[in-house]
Amino acid sequence: MGSATSVDYAVIHWPAGGMKVIDNPAINTTHEIIEAACTPPSATISANGPTDFCAGGSVNLSIVNGATNQVWSNGESTSSINVMTPGIYGLLVWDNAGCAAYSNQITVNIVTDPTPGITVDGELEFCEGGSVQLLASSGNSYQWSNGETSQAISVTAAGDYHVLVTGPCQTLDTEMISVSVTDAPDAPSISDVYVNAGETATLTVTGGTNVNWYDSQNATTPIFEGNSYTTPAITATTTYWVEDAFGYGGLNYDGGKSGQTQNNQGQYQQSNQYYLKFDVAEDATIHSVHVYANGAGNRTIQVIDTDGAEVAVGTFDIADGESDVVLDFFVPAGTGYGIRITSNNPQLWRDKDLNSDAPFGFPYNIGNVVTITGTNVGGADTDNYYYYFYDWNVVTPYSECASSRVEVTVNVVGIEELTNVRELNVYPNPASTELNISLNLISNEKINLNLTDMSGRVVRSVQMNASAGSNQHSFNLSDVAAGIYNLNIQSGGRTATKKVVVQ
């Protein structure tokens, strides 16, 4: 009882069931109570509002029906109570004879909003024209840093993104998500071309960086790489697609210790316990290393992470003496890597110099991509060894960001497309000073003749009021630059094209 000097009431739970309450029992006294049958009163309590609420809120609990005497489970004895703390609340009631009962119970909970987050659907670094989906965790409303108010957004622009999520009780902010967008070139500019059946076409893009040509809109493998593509002989109108691309990465860096150190301490190692340690600032491939072997044979080389888990491994037939070993080990960005020999008695050269402080020049920075930091030798001698692998060659991953793909059509044209033209002759071809056009028509018609250069610029043009039968026209080419031209013949709403060479 501590410092208390009186008892408000005592509750007796009879073995046969039922309860009895003694009001204000005397202290320091033995009470003999005889179990007697009684009809307990009934009691019901109810909540006047939600019983789940935010911190700082409350709910009123009141007695629907009770008895002469009552006490709440929190010690209060009023007809109703205001509850602000979580818990299970009930009421004890008894009549004047002390016959007692409990009411129903009501559970009160304090609602806590979960910490919101963002789920990323896609890559956070992508090429211009791409996107990534960001999905906020569930809430009542959303306010993204870019002004959007939906739960999920599609992001196409670089930047840092976060969202304020309003829940039942609070508005909470998420962590920042950084999105990077890599530039892509503009789509190539190219025009359709016209050829005679059986001829090839040369398709050219000016100023492209990494131009790829495809035979379908969704093809993944190009049919040609380069600014100018010469098609096979075309017998029917054919469509190609072309895109430009910017290339990123694919850079080569050399570094590490250059060559072995010949002294009376270095040796061909028998133990496979020790190795070099290194860090990787960005994803990279260890393409090759230089080694010195005492005897030819297979050696197993392994890269491990800071926990000793295998990252890459391979078995290589290493020649006697010194040689380059092509590893092509991909290593993701991280720290604390090791590169080691797992074969017993590897017989590869390792340097040792215990007479100098840090004699081998750690760390070795290779293009700010890989840093050889030291060895796993413990103690003060850790930098007095260099294990096995010299003259590293490291390559960063290569990727491309492509423009949108542009359609270009090679149109095959011929006299058969001109239904009113019985015969067409263009001569001489190649031409130098004059080009003659001979037309034999079925009926009278206006014929348009246009000589255009490969950019589509009209250099000669005439409209002929041609009659049925033979018709002639000549173009003076004396001031026309040498090159390849198209002669377009328009008849009956159709166009036929002949390729003309001016010398």
* Residue at 138 is within a domain: yes
Q: Do 56 and 138 belong together in one domain? A: no
Residue 128 identity (one-letter amino acid): E
Residue 333: which residues within 8 A CB-CB, separation 6 or more?
280, 281, 282, 283, 284
Q: Do 26 and 149 belong together in one domain? A: no
Q: Do 41 and 75 belong together in one domain? A: yes
Instruction: Give 3-state DSSP helix, strand, coil % of the chain, rounded to 5.
Output: 0, 55, 45
171-173 and 163-166 strand pairing: antiparallel
Q: Do 366 and 495 belong together in one domain? A: no
* Residue at 409 is within a domain: no
In whole angstroms, how far apart are CA 344 and each of 61, 156, 299, 321, 467? Answer: 78, 53, 9, 18, 96
Decide: helix, strand or coil at residue 477.
coil
Domain end, chosen from 159, 182, 205, is at 182
| Distance in angstroms (rounded) separating the CA atoms of residues 41 and 66 | 7
Domain end, chosen from 56, 82, 111, is at 111
Q: Do 497 and 385 belong together in one domain? A: no
Domain containing residue 358: CATH number: 2.60.120
**pLDDT tops 50 at residue 422:** yes
**pLDDT tops 50 at residue 203:** yes
* Residue at 233 is within a domain: no
Q: Do 337 and 436 belong together in one domain? A: no
Instruction: Please identify which residue in the block is written with the tokens 């000669």.
Output: 460
* Residue at 310 is within a domain: yes
* Residue at 443 is within a domain: yes
| Distance in angstroms (rounded) separating the CA atoms of residues 247 and 211 | 11
* Tens-place pLDDT, residues 434-489: 999 998 999 999 999 999 998 889 999 999 999 999 999 999 999 999 998 989 88
**pLDDT tops 90 at residue 5:** no
Domain containing residue 107: CATH number: 2.60.40.10
Of residues 66 and 272, the one with the higher pLDDT is 272
What predicted TM-score, i.e. pTM, was given to this entire model?
0.62
* Residue at 324 is within a domain: yes
Mean pLDDT of the region 374-378:
95
Mean pLDDT of the region 400-425:
84
What's the number of domains the chain is made of? Answer: 4
DSSP assignment of 403-460: ---EEEEEEEE-GGG-TTEEEEEEESSSBSSEEEEEEEESS-EEEEEEEEETTS-EEE
**Contact in structure between 167 and 174 (CB atoms under 8 Å):** no
Instruction: Please identify which residue in the block is written with the tokens 């009278």.
Output: 444
pLDDT of residue 32: 64
**Contact in structure between 424 and 435 (CB atoms under 8 Å):** no
DSSP class of 383: G
**pLDDT tops 50 at residue 16:** no
pLDDT of residue 12: 73
Q: Do 153 and 101 belong together in one domain? A: no
| Distance in angstroms (rounded) separating the CA atoms of residues 378 and 357 | 15
**Contact in structure between 9 and 23 (CB atoms under 8 Å):** yes
Mean pLDDT of the region 255-284:
96
Chain centre to alpha carbon of residue 352: 45
**Of 318, 385, 299, the residue nearest 350 (C-alpha):** 385
Residue 128: which residues within 8 A CB-CB, separation 6 or more?
181, 182, 183, 184, 401
* Residue at 242 is within a domain: no
* Backbone phi, psi, residue 380, to 5°: -70, -15
- 413 pairs with which residues across the strands? 196
Mean pLDDT of the region 375-384:
93
Q: HSE on the CB side for 2, CA within 13 Å?
A: 2
By CB atoms closer than 10 A (0-12, 13-18, 19+), residue 473 is: middle
Confidence of residue 21 (pLDDT cuts 50, 70, 90): confident
Q: Do 163 and 284 belong together in one domain? A: no
**Contact in structure between 165 and 144 (CB atoms under 8 Å):** no
Q: What residues make up the domain containing 427?
A: 414-502
Q: Do 376 and 257 belong together in one domain? A: yes
| Distance in angstroms (rounded) separating the CA atoms of residues 381 and 356 | 10
Q: Do 284 and 384 belong together in one domain? A: yes
Decide: helix, strand or coil at residue 140.
coil
**pLDDT tops 80 at residue 31:** no
**Of 222, 226, 228, the residue nearest 200 (C-alpha):** 228
Q: HSE on the CB side for 97, CA within 13 Å?
A: 11
**pLDDT tops 90 at residue 244:** yes
Give strand ranges (E) for 27-84. Answer: 44-47, 52-54, 59-65, 69-72, 80-83
Q: Do 104 and 129 belong together in one domain? A: no
Decide: helix, strand or coil at residue 381.
helix
**Of 451, 482, 449, 478, the residue nearest 465 (C-alpha):** 449
* Residue at 405 is within a domain: no
| Distance in angstroms (rounded) separating the CA atoms of residues 223 and 219 | 9
* Tens-place pLDDT, residues 303-358: 999 999 999 999 999 999 999 999 999 999 999 999 999 999 999 999 999 999 88
Domain end, chosen from 68, 91, 111, is at 111
| Distance in angstroms (rounded) separating the CA atoms of residues 118 and 176 | 9
Mean pLDDT of the region 404-433:
84
**Contact in structure between 62 and 46 (CB atoms under 8 Å):** yes
In whole angstroms, how far apart are CA 293 and each of 242, 268, 319? Answer: 50, 7, 7
Mean pLDDT of all residues belonging to the chain: 91
Percentage of the chain modeled with pLDDT above 70? 93
Q: Do 43 and 80 belong together in one domain? A: yes
Domain containing residue 497: CATH number: 2.60.40.3080
